[in-house]
Every structure is written in C-alpha cells, then in structure tokens.
Amino acid sequence: MGKMKKNIIRSYNIIQKSKKNKELLKTISMYDNTLEYKTLRERVAICFYIIQESWMKNEISRAKNYMSEKLYSMYSKKINELRTRNRINIAEDIILVNVKPIEVIIGETDNNDYIWMYVKGTRKSYQLDAESKSAIKETLDKGVFKEYWKFIRGSEGWILDETLKLDDVSEKVYFEERLCS
C-alpha cells in the first residue's frame, strides 16, 4: 500500500475513532468530570507543554508529576545518555495542534483506566554539542509530529504513561481490533 493511501486510511480511522470516543466521554463525564473532553484536552495540553519544556531543558524532574514512574525512568535514562554523550536537547516553536481521543477504557475502579490520545504538534528540535554549542546536523527534526499518547490516572489527574510514533504502530494491533469488536 502506498504511503499516501496509508495516511488517508489512518486519518479516516483517527477521525472515526475520535467521534466514537468523544461520544463515550460525553456520556461517562456525567459521572466523572475528569473525563469531560474539554477538561481532558486541557490536561493533555498542560502535560504536553510541561514535558516538552522539561525535555528541552534536560531537567525531566520538572515534569515528574505529569508522567508515570515507568515513563519518568525511561526519559531520565535518555537524558543521562545525552549527558554522557555531551549533548543538549533543544526544542523550539513548540505548538500543540490537535488532540483526539482514540481509545477510552474506564473500569469499575480507577486503577486500570486509560485513554489513548492522538497528539499532533509542531516543533523544531535538535541537539547541541555541550562544549562547542554547535548543532549536530543529523539530529535536526523540524515540522509536524504525530503520536499516540497513553494517559492513566495519577494522584493529581491524568498523567502520561506511554508514547508511540504513528509510523511505529500497527493500528490494527493497538486500536482497531479492540474498538471494532
């Protein structure tokens, strides 16, 4: 299947899943206001900008309350690896463009609740050599990025637990089979 056709199908699936899950959120938000779509979008935006800023400043501890221990540990390791390689993350012009609920799983207890969100943003990111402050060309990434972000309940609201790049995901495995059944 050609890349353009795959992108069209993916976009259609995201729109359809989003519509279905917005309706579900509307229904269940009567019982839990943290599941109101507007509230979720705001929470995702807060997490997005705090995590992006923390990543950019190589101080992921600033975002600890907005992510799971598992993700915090993984990001901490990545930042330590960059320090070991004498590199600094840079991210500029960060904009959250769109957020859509792709999968909503709410159980009888809060322990297993999660929500997968489609997140579209723009940024210019690259790494600097810490000593020379010169940009490392092969790390330049600018433009649009599209990912799936999984949120779970934390003690102070929804927190980021996992991120997946669209191209790294077989939607059939992650979403399609569960949502269509």
pLDDT recorded at residue 60: 92
pLDDT recorded at residue 29: 82
Residue that has been written with the tokens 């930042």 in this structure: 79
pLDDT recorded at residue 173: 53
The sign of the CA dihedral 22, 26, 27, 31 is positive
Domain 3-180: top CATH class: alpha beta
Predicted model pTM? 0.84
pLDDT recorded at residue 179: 44
pLDDT recorded at residue 181: 37
DSSP state of 32: -
In whole angstroms, give the CA distance from residue 32 to residue 36.
8
How crowded is the C-beta side of 176, counted as CA atoms within 13 Å?
10
User: pLDDT of the chain along its 181 residues, tens only?
Assistant: 566 766 777 777 787 887 888 888 888 888 888 899 999 999 999 999 999 999 888 889 999 999 999 999 999 999 999 999 999 888 889 999 999 999 998 887 667 899 999 999 999 888 888 899 898 888 888 889 999 999 999 988 999 999 998 877 765 555 544 444 3
Which residues face 163 on adjacent strands? 149
Count CB neighbours of 10 within 10 A: 16
58: region left, alpha or beta (phi > 0 left; psi from -120 to 50 alpha): left
In the chain, where are the structural domains located? 3-180
pLDDT recorded at residue 170: 65
pLDDT recorded at residue 15: 79
